Amino acid sequence: MLSKKNNSKVNFNGMRENILHRLRYELPENLSYHDINHTLSVEKAAIRLSELEQLSTDETIITRTAVLYHDAGFIYQYNENEIFAKKMVKEDLPKYGYSKKQIFRIIEIIRSTEKDVPSSSHLDDIMSDSDHDYFGRDDYYKIAGYLRDELAIFGKEFSEIEWINFQLAYLEGKHTYLTTSAKKLRNSEKAKRIEELKSKRKI
């Protein structure tokens, strides 16, 4: 929750309550990874990074709102769900006092979460680092397991070695923490996950 001392005209807490209610009751039950717990975990990471990266109140509102909506499109469709998330943002946020400029920036942040779309702003960087925060945490394997289960439901199953290679291809070949704070917080533990996976591959 944002402090009641916040001078913004945006009703952030009302927006947050509404979208979390929708995520809790409207997301498909077979989403073991992209569920409300994922959104709340990413929001927690975003709050930490917003403080460490010294965002303004407005930037924090924009970033947290993007986080809360970034996977909301799964309510409607699994693939290319971001299209629906951006549509929801356009429809919902004017009701809570968001300006056109704020809505545009939120949509741009959500767009940055689409496949093969590069980060183009500091807020995009925080979104990406928050979304992948668990890569450098000790609950990595638990959360990665949820993703594996979800992918299997939607037609992409992996053998053990395929799953190890899939993880390594992303962790080592594609992913990079972008903010200074995330690098300090998570890089060393992420490196341990990579070495652990490589060791498993040798067994």
pLDDT digits (tens, 9 = 90+) for 157-183: 999 999 999 999 999 999 999 999 999
| pLDDT category of residue 3 using cuts at 50, 70 and 90 | very low
Percent of the chain with pLDDT over 70: 96
The model's pTM is: 0.93
CA distances to 16, 135, 162, 173, 189 from 183, in Å: 28, 11, 28, 16, 10
* Segment 4-9 mean pLDDT: 58
Please state the domain extents for the chain: 12-202
For 95, the token pair is 């009701």
- pLDDT for 5 beyond 60: no
User: Domain 12-202, CATH 1.10.1300.10 — does that match?
Assistant: yes
- pLDDT for 201 beyond 90: no
Length of the chain: 203
Whole-angstrom distance, CA of residue 35 vs CA of residue 146: 10
Mean pLDDT over all residues of the chain?
A: 95
Residue 4: predicted pLDDT: 43
- pLDDT for 28 beyond 80: yes
